[in-house]
Chain A
Amino acid sequence: MIEQTKQNNLIKTLLYILTIILVLAVLKLPSNIVHVLILVFFYAYVSTAWDILGGYAGQMSFGHSLFIGVGAYTSTLLLLRLGITPWIGLFVSGLIALVIGAFMGFLCFRSNITGFYFALVTIVFVEISRYLSLGFEWTGAAKGLYIPYKGNNISNLQFDSKYMYFYVIFAMYIGILILYKAIMKSKSGFYFLAIRENEEAAESIGINTYKYKMLATIISSFLVGVAGSFWAQYITFIDPYTMFDFMLSVQIIFFAVAGGRGTLFGPLVGAALFVPLSEGLRTMMGRIAGINILVYGIILILILRFMPDGIFVWVKDRLKNLSHGR
Chain B
Amino acid sequence: MTLLTVENMSKNFSGLKAVTDLSLTVEEGQICGLIGPNGAGKTTTFNLITGFLPVSAGKIFFDKTEITGLESHKICDIGLTRTFQHAQPFRGLSVHDNVLTGSFLRNKKRKDAEKITDDALDMVKMYEKRNKLTKDLTIGETKRLEIARALATGPKMLLLDEVMAGLTLVEVDEIIQLIFELRDSRGITFMLIEHVMRAVMSLSDKVVVLQHGVKIAEGTPAEVAANEKVIEAYLGEDENIA
Contact = CB atoms under 8 A, between A and B. Distances in A.
B91 interface: yes
Interface in A164-219: 185-187, 190-191, 193-194, 196-198, 200-209
Contacts of A187: 104, 108, 110, 113
Interface in B90-121: 90-93, 97, 100-102, 104-105, 108, 110, 113
A198 B90 contact: yes
A194 B101 contact: yes
The A interface is mostly helix, strand or loop, or mixed, namely: helix
Contact of A204 (B84, B92, B100): B84
A198 B84 CA distance: 12
A190 B101 contact: yes
Given A191-B104, A201-B84, A206 B92 contact: no
B100 A190 contact: yes
A194 B134 CA distance: 13
Interface string B65-108: 00000011110110001111000111111000100111011001
Interface residues on B, range: 20 to 34
Contacts of A204: 50, 52, 72, 76, 81-84, 88, 150
A198 B150 contact: no
Contacts of B108: 187
Contacts of B113: 187
A208 B102 CA distance: 12
Interface string B33-74: 000000000000000001010000000000000000001111
Contacts of A201: 84, 88-90, 149
Closest 6 CB pairs of A and B: A206-B76, A197-B90, A203-B72, A206-B105, A201-B88, A187-B104
Interface of B: 50, 52, 71-74, 76-77, 81-84, 88-93, 97, 100-102, 104-105, 108, 110, 113, 149-150, 152-153
Interface of A: 185-187, 190-191, 193-194, 196-198, 200-209
